[in-house]
């Protein structure tokens, strides 16, 4: 709506302003009118083209969203419900593709939910793989764990509550997960950063993830940051790129944006451009 209004104001401005300028400059009325109309037609066509492209891009994104949701629901052995807080189906589909293609078997997740259930379900099908998920919300963690038990997926996933504590990373203090219980020697093929929730007040709440977990990445490990299209996550992505020259990065325009950090550059070949 806001964009439509901007386009309407833009179209009105390009229709009127050139004519007024020429008229003020003392140009004769007929050429002034013709020039003004020609400029207006060109400008309106350009704005219309832009608007058309935006609409097509939105329809494409919604198509991918629906295809992913339907594809996941059709192949999952468990009931699937996407809440507004959950990772988007298209982002999860890309993560499943990475897990599959790169043979990722050990997953650490920050922020549990449908992603935990569906990846555990994938691992059960394959008969290998495990996801360990930390959540700051004890009630939500217990609920996800109960669903895992109900679906007999608790052999492939575990959800633990981790309180948010003050963590210093990159010269900044943030409320981040207390991972003191995490074995120092533990290595993960994939780290999914889908928490802490930014709506709790700190738009850069996920900044510590790579500083704390870099040492826990396996030799072909990946770390993915969800919601990467948000301004806070974009700033986090820039800072990580500056501070970790040994890693390889890619921003993927899927769902709410997925920023990928990889130990091996070749892992990025499995991502869409």
Ligand X SMILES: C[S@@+](CC[C@H](N)C(=O)[O-])C[C@H]1O[C@@H](n2cnc3c(N)ncnc32)[C@H](O)[C@@H]1O
Q: Which of 111, 221, 255, 257 binds ligand X (CB under 6 A)?
A: 111
- Residue 178, interface with ligand X (CB under 6 A)? no
What is the nearest approach in angstroms of ligand X to the Cβ of residue 89? 10
Q: Which of 49, 53, 85, 172 binds ligand X (CB under 6 A)?
A: 85
Kindly write out the interface string for residues 40-69 of this chain, putting x where it contacts ligand X by CB under 6 A and - elsewhere.
------------------------------
- Residue 219, interface with ligand X (CB under 6 A)? no
List all residues 6 or more positions away from 217 whose beta carbon is below 8 Å from its beta carbon. 187, 188, 191, 223, 263
What is the nearest approach in angstroms of ligand X to the Cβ of residue 154? 17
* Contact range with ligand X by CB under 6 A, out of 111-119, 159-167, 174-182, 263-271: 111-119
Q: Judged by CB, which is closer to ligand X: 40, or 194?
A: 194
What is the nearest approach in angstroms of ligand X to the Cβ of residue 270? 21
Cα 208–chain centre separation: 17
Nearest residue to ligand X, using CB? Answer: 113
Q: How far apart are CA 127 and CA 48, in angstroms?
A: 53
What is the nearest approach in angstroms of ligand X to the Cβ of residue 27? 59
Q: How far apart are CA 85 and CA 195, in angstroms?
A: 10
What is the nearest approach in angstroms of ligand X to the Cβ of residue 10? 36
Q: Is the CB of residue 22 less than 8 Å from the CB of residue 32?
A: yes
Q: Which of 18, 19, 89, 113 binds ligand X (CB under 6 A)?
A: 113
Long-range pairs of 72-81 with CB within 8 A, sequence gap ≥ 24:
72/96, 72/118, 76/118, 76/121, 77/121, 77/124, 77/125, 77/151, 78/117, 78/118, 78/121, 78/151, 78/153, 80/114, 80/118, 81/114
Q: Which of 68, 115, 121, 239 binds ligand X (CB under 6 A)?
A: 115
Q: Judged by CB, which is closer to ligand X: 135, or 233?
A: 135
* Contact range with ligand X by CB under 6 A, out of 57-65, 83-91, 178-186, 202-210: 83-91
Kindly write out the interface string for residues 138-167 of this chain, putting x where it contacts ligand X by CB under 6 A and - elsewhere.
--x---------------------------
Q: Judged by CB, which is closer to ligand X: 136, or 189?
A: 136
């Amino acid at each position: 709506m806001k964009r439509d209004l901007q386009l309407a104001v833009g179209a009105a401005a390009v229709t009127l302003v050139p004519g007024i300028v020429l008229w003020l400059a003392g140009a004769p009325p007929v050429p002034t009118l013709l020039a003004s109309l020609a400029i207006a037609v060109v400008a309106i066509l350009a704005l219309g083209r832009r608007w058309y492209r935006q609409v097509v891009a939105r329809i494409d994104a919604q198509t991918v969203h629906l295809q992913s949701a339907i594809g996941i629901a059709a192949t999952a052995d468990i009931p699937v419900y996407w809440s507004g807080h959950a990772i988007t189906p298209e982002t999860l589909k890309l993560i499943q593709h990475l897990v599959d293609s790169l043979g990722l078997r050990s997953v650490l997740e920050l922020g549990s939910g449908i992603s935990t259930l569906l990846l555990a379900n994938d691992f059960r099908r394959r008969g290998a793989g495990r996801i360990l998920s930390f959540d700051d919300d004890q009630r939500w963690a217990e609920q996800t764990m109960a669903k895992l038990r109900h679906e007999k997926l608790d052999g492939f996933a575990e959800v633990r509550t981790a309180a948010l504590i003050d963590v210093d990373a990159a010269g900044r203090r943030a409320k981040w997960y207390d991972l003191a219980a995490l074995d120092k020697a533990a290595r993960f093929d994939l780290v999914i950063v889908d928490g802490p929730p930014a709506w709790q007040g700190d738009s850069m709440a996920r900044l510590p993830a790579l500083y704390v977990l870099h040492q826990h990445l396996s030799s072909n490990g990946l770390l993915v940051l969800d919601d990467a299209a948000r301004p806070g996550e974009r700033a986090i992505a820039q800072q990580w790129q500056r501070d970790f020259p040994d890693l390889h990065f890619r921003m993927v325009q899927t769902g709410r944006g997925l920023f990928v950090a990889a130990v091996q550059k070749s892992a990025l070949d499995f991502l869409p451009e």
